[in-house]
Amino acid sequence: MKKLLALVLLAAAVPAGAIDLGLRVTKGNEGYVGMNAFGVLPVGDFTLRPAFDTAKSDASNGTFKQGSLRVGYDTAVFGLGVTGGMVPKTEGYKNVSAGADLTFTLSATGGGAKRIRTSGGGAPRGKGLARVDVGAGAQMIQHEDEMDSSGATRATVRKISQTDVSVFVGASFLGFNASGNLTNSSYDKTLNGLDRPAPRLALEGLNTRLMGFPETSLSLHVEAPFLPLVNPFVGYNATTYKPGSDSSKTYSVGAYLGLEMLELYGAIERTTFSSSPLKDLTTVTVGGSLRFGLGA
């Protein structure tokens, strides 16, 4: 809650514009508990999106946290963003990350700066094919782990650099928003059975944080924003991991409830693993965001 209060204080210092402050809480089996607090703050022609995220489960004793900041510049034609984040050391593990993304929009109305992504909709409504968003992004993550897969302390810290390359597309068609995101991850070192799986993995469009070093991840999202007040959605993610042939599949269903300044959110996610000591996860996420403007 202290982080959310800090976002409120920051919002009071920015120029007039649309501001979004949100909080989501996730709970599930295997002792899973997570939280995500975020803000969307306009600063001139740019948008700041600070976020603070936590995740804990029976697989670890500590609570892994991540702080991040995205700076975006959006026009009716394109959107450009840069992101940085870090996971402070917990149980001998930490990471830092930086990335950038670029999206182009084709719209029947020639407007609309909010992109269609697996994390949510927002396209202008129209008859037939109203809008298409296409883009790509890249991210680098520096992992540092003092422990191996058995939990023993290493003689030297294991450092692994991960590079993610993503392509994504979204479309608004007959009132539906449909989108897909494909990410391929490569590493500067050959991963082996002694490497402890990265303990906090945020996959595109998912509230549940998983463990592992991803290789290929595909996320799909379909939303129906034409219903009064309620926007139901379904999602799917399939991810393979290094080393070996382990994989996970996540199915999600949920809805947004829009009440002018207040938006409520709820979702259920079911994650199954192909061959992992981790048991299948079912999580429930509830939350909301407050949207308001400052000034005239």
CATH number of the domain enclosing 78: 2.40.160.40
Radius of gyration over alpha carbons of the chain, in Å? Answer: 19
Count of the separate structural domains present in the chain: 1
Q: Mind listing the pLDDT tens digit for each residue in 5-58?
A: 444 444 434 444 679 999 999 999 999 999 999 999 999 889 999 999 999 998
CA 50 to each of CA 10, 37, 81, 117, 166: distance values in angstroms, whole numbers, following the listed order: 10, 8, 13, 18, 22
Q: What is the pLDDT of residues 237-293, one digit of tens each?
A: 999 999 887 899 999 999 999 888 999 999 999 999 997 667 899 999 999 999 887
> Over the stretch 162-220, which tens digit does the pLDDT of each residue have?
999 999 999 988 888 999 999 999 999 999 989 999 988 999 999 999 999 999 999 99
Q: Let me know: does 129 contact 140? Beta carbons within 8 Å.
A: no
Boundaries of domain holding 64: 2-293
- What is the pLDDT at residue 115? 60
